[in-house]
């Protein structure tokens, strides 16, 4: 894991000191609200429905046991002892006081964390694969380049005030676990004759205008990644619509210019930057890559000899393994997802006690590190197969072993009306109503892989567009209604779902989800998952079923 050097540390300490002074001036009334607003946003401080919220970055999802313990301490001391993991590797503390934020930033700096650029019109936290470095389908470990991008984008003087927020994801695997097709820039790493290269995707995004990205460049040699990104962000900075926040994202610029013209403008900017000082050297890559060397793995048999008997003796353990495990490239190891989607829990929420418990699990089972997954779960990436049973027993005790990873109740969900000022709807209450309806693990397991994503408004923080079932809160004459989309998905084949009928009242949502599931179970071929059935039969059977039911 990357370790701050003296310069990194000085930078975030100075930034925290600067914010302390800004807060003091604001409290003294010498800094007006309107002037303070962009400053607090650049430091991750929003003002939500009930209280200010601080969004802390977990760059490309890597978090150490020590950092988790610090987050637990901070959430107990300055918040309500709870945090919320977002879909972009951030932890939100939803009940802080602005006057405490400078102290929180100091506490974070002690464990090499910060909240810089987690909000505001700047380059946000770079996101990556939660299985980076361990996934068998990985071609290149994206973390060294993700860290280089973090350093490049943090407080980049030219890009401090972009037309709108700017999100970058980087993936180095055959499959795409980063939603790179729905980012302003999606970077897909590959290699040509051992040299890393990038496919650069641009203009993706969710929100009110969901757009899948387009391929801007293929086979970009890794050395040019900073100058090439600089060229893209320059074109955006110069031409993005600053007059209209709804049309200000890069996706709208790419759409309005057309890919050909956008490519031309990027090429012109790049010509002036290419081979300049931003060109990465082997020495710089090696300096950063040295932080991501593999831990001290043991030599183990590929299959642990005790697992079959443990599974046979404990069916609940077998059920958990079937959902929580992800293969590992080192024989005898596995990556394990800890579910933050226990029944009744707001998806992505974690208590301070659980943060400490995960820290302990990371220390005991996974070289002291954990990962944040964009599905709002946590991952222990390096667990010996021979210790999975022990891990399961411990994770169960702290409510982190619900065997629902990838199933319908592993929902992505934004905080919605419970906290967010922009919400039309109580997305968490809807999530809980669906959890309550689908509380039978056998049924869930039989349904197989199925993503259900919920957003409380058109901003799409809950990724509803790319859920197999997407649920969007809309306002109908001050009443909560929900629009349902089907067929969306993430991954290599990412796409936007289609609306399947008029929005339905909040109370009907669990019934509508049940009806959709009924159509699926009647029509599916053996072992087929929801997305495959939807592709085969289309939306018509779902639409006609819902029409009949609402008639």
Contacts with ligand HEM, residue ranges (CB under 6 A): 46, 48, 53, 86-88, 92, 164, 167, 205-208, 249, 414-415, 420, 422, 459-461, 463
User: Which of the ranges 113-121, 215-223, 323-331, 419-427 carries the binding residues for ligand SF4, by CB under 6 A?
Assistant: 419-427
Look-up of token digits 């430091």: 43
Closest by alpha carbon to 85, among 358, 364, 326? 358
Q: Transcribe 91-148 into DSSP letters.
A: EEETT--GGGHHHHHHHHHHTT---TTSSSSSB---EE-TTTTT-TTBSS--HHHHHH
Between 140 and 412, whose beta carbon lies closer to ligand HEM?
Answer: 412
For ligand SF4, the closer of residues 401 and 469 by Cβ is: 469
Q: Which does 416 bind (CB under 5 to 8 A by kind): ligand SF4, ligand HEM, none?
A: ligand SF4
Determine if 470 is a binding residue for ligand SF4 (CB under 6 A).
Answer: no
With binding defined as CB under 6 A, does residue 461 bind ligand SF4? Answer: yes
With H, G, I as helix, E, B as strand and everything else as coil, classify residue 508: helix
In whole angstroms, what is the distance from residue 376 CA to residue 386 CA?
27
Residue nearest to ligand HEM (CB): 207
The end-to-end CA distance of the chain, in Å, is 57
**CB < 8 Å & 24+ apart, contacts of 519-524:** 519/545, 520/447, 521/447
Does residue 142 touch ligand SF4 according to CB under 6 A?
no
Least gap, CB of 137 to ligand HEM (angstroms): 24
Comparing CB distances to ligand HEM, the nearer of 168 and 500 is 168
CB of residue 96 vs ligand SF4: minimum separation in angstroms?
A: 17
Nearest to 371, CA basis, from 311, 326, 409, 329? 326
Beta strands 333-338 and 325-327: pairing type?
Answer: antiparallel
Residue 474 interacts with ligand SF4 (CB under 6 A): yes or no:
no
Supply φ then ψ for residue 6, to 5 degrees.
-60, -35
User: Which residues from 296-315 bind ligand SF4, rule CB under 6 A?
Assistant: none
125: region left, alpha or beta (phi > 0 left; psi from -120 to 50 alpha): beta
Considering CB distances under 5 to 8 angstroms, the limit depending on partner class, which of ligand HEM, ligand SF4, none binds residue 423?
Answer: ligand SF4
Beta carbon nearer to ligand SF4, 37 or 274? 37
140/157 Cα distance (integer angstroms): 30
> Under the criterion CB under 6 A, does residue 430 sit at the interface with ligand SF4?
no
Work out the angle between the directed axes of helices 225-239 and 143-153 (0-180°, nearest 10): 40
DSSP SS3 for 371: strand
Of the CA atoms within 13 Å of residue 551, those in its CB half-sphere come to 6
Rule CB under 6 A: is residue 128 a binding residue for ligand SF4? Answer: no
Nearer to ligand SF4, 123 or 431 (CB): 431
Question: How many chain residues touch ligand SF4 (CB under 6 A)?
Answer: 14
Question: Among 373, 420, 430, 486, which residue interacts with ligand SF4 (rule: CB under 6 A)?
Answer: 420
> Footprint of ligand SF4 on residues 62-101 (CB under 6 A)?
none
Rounded-to-integer distance, Cα 425 and Cα 125, Å: 27
Please report how close the Cβ of residue 346 comes to ligand SF4 at its closest, in angstroms: 12
Report the residue number, 115 or 460, with the smaller CB distance to ligand SF4.
460
Q: What is the DSSP letter of 474?
A: E
Q: Which does 87 bind (CB under 5 to 8 A by kind): ligand HEM, ligand SF4, none?
A: ligand HEM
* Closer residue to ligand SF4, CB minimum distance, 370 or 420: 420
- Residue 92 interacting entry, from ligand SF4, ligand HEM, none, C-beta within 5 to 8 Å by type: ligand HEM
- Asked if residue 263 lies in contact with residue 214, where contact means CB atoms within 8 angstroms, the answer is no
| Alpha-carbon separation of residue 488 from 321, 454, 466 (angstroms) | 27, 12, 4
Interface segment toward ligand SF4; rule CB under 6 A; list 187-195, 263-271, 416-424, 533-541? 416-424
Residue 455 binds which one of ligand HEM, ligand SF4, none, with CB within 5 to 8 A depending on kind? ligand SF4
Q: What is the nearest approach in angstroms of ligand HEM to the Cβ of residue 494?
A: 13
What is the C-alpha separation between 45 and 515, in angstroms, rounded? 41
206 touches which of ligand HEM, ligand SF4, none (CB within 5 to 8 A by kind)?
A: ligand HEM
Among 422, 474, 499, 537, binds ligand SF4 (CB under 6 A): 422
**Dist CA 214 CA 204 (whole Å):** 7
Phi, psi of 202 (to 5 degrees): -130, 155
Stretch that binds ligand SF4, among 97-105, 158-166, 312-320, 454-462 (CB under 6 A): 454-462
Which residues would be at the binding site for ligand SF4 (CB under 6 A)?
A: 414-416, 420, 422-423, 427, 455-457, 459-462
């Amino acid at each position: 894991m990357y370790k701050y050097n003296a310069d990194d540390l000085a930078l975030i300490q100075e930034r925290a000191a600067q914010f302390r002074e800004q807060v003091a001036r604001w409290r003294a009334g010498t800094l007006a609200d309107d002037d303070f607003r962009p400053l607090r946003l650049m430091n991750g401080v929003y003002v939500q429905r009930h209280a200010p919220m601080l969004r802390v970055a977990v760059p490309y999802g890597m978090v150490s046991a020590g950092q988790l313990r610090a987050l637990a301490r901070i959430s107990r001391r300055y918040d309500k002892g709870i945090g919320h993991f977002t879909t972009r590797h951030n932890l939100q503390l939803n009940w802080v006081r602005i006057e405490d934020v400078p102290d929180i930033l100091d506490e974070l700096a002690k464990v090499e964390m910060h909240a810089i650029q987690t909000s505001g019109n700047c380059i946000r936290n770079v996101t990556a694969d939660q299985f980076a470095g361990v996934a068998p389908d990985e071609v290149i470990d994206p973390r060294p380049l993700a860290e280089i991008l973090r350093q490049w984008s943090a407080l980049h003087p030219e890009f401090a005030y972009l037309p709108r927020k700017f999100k970058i994801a980087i993936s180095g695997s055959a499959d795409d676990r980063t939603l790179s097709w729905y980012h302003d820039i999606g970077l897909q790493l590959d290699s040509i004759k051992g040299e890393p290269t990038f496919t650069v995707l641009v203009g993706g995004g969710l929100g009110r205008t969901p757009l899948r990205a387009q391929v801007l460049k293929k086979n970009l040699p890794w050395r040019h990644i900073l100058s090439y990104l600089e060229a893209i962000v320059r074109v955006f900075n110069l031409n993005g619509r600053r007059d209209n926040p709804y049309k200000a994202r890069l996706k709208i610029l790419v759409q309005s210019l057309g890919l050909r013209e956008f490519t031309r403008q990027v090429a012109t900017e790049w010509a002036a930057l290419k081979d300049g000082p931003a060109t990465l050297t082997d020495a710089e890559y090696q300096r950063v890559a040295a932080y991501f060397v593999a831990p001290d793995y043991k030599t183990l048999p590929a299959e642990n000899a005790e697992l079959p008997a443990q599974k046979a003796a404990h069916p609940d353990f077998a059920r958990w393994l079937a959902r929580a495990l992800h293969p590992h490239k080192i024989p005898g190891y596995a990556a394990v997802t800890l579910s933050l989607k226990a029944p009744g829990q707001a998806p992505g929420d974690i208590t301070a006690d659980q943060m400490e418990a995960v820290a302990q699990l990371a220390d005991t089972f996974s070289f002291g590190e954990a990962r944040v997954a964009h599905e709002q779960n946590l991952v222990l990436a390096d667990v010996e197969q021979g210790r999975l049973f022990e891990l399961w027993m411990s994770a169960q005790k702290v409510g982190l072993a619900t065997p629902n990873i990838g199933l319908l109740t592993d929902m992505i969900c934004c905080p919605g009306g419970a906290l967010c000022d922009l919400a039309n709807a109580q997305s968490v209450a809807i999530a809980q109503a669906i959890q309550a309806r689908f509380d039978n693990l056998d049924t869930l397991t039989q349904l197989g892989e199925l993503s259900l994503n919920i957003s409380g408004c058109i901003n799409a923080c809950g990724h509803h567009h790319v859920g197999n079932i997407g649920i969007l809160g809309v306002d109908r004459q001050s009443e909560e209604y929900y629009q349902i989309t089907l067929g969306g998905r993430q991954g290599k084949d990412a796409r936007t779902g289609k609306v399947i009928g008029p929005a339905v009242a909040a109370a009907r949502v669990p019934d509508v989800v049940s009806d959709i599931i009924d159509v699926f179970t009647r029509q599916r071929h053996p072992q087929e998952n929801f997305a495959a059935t939807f592709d085969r039969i289309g939306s018509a059977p779902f639409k006609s079923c819902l029409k009949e039911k609402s008639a």
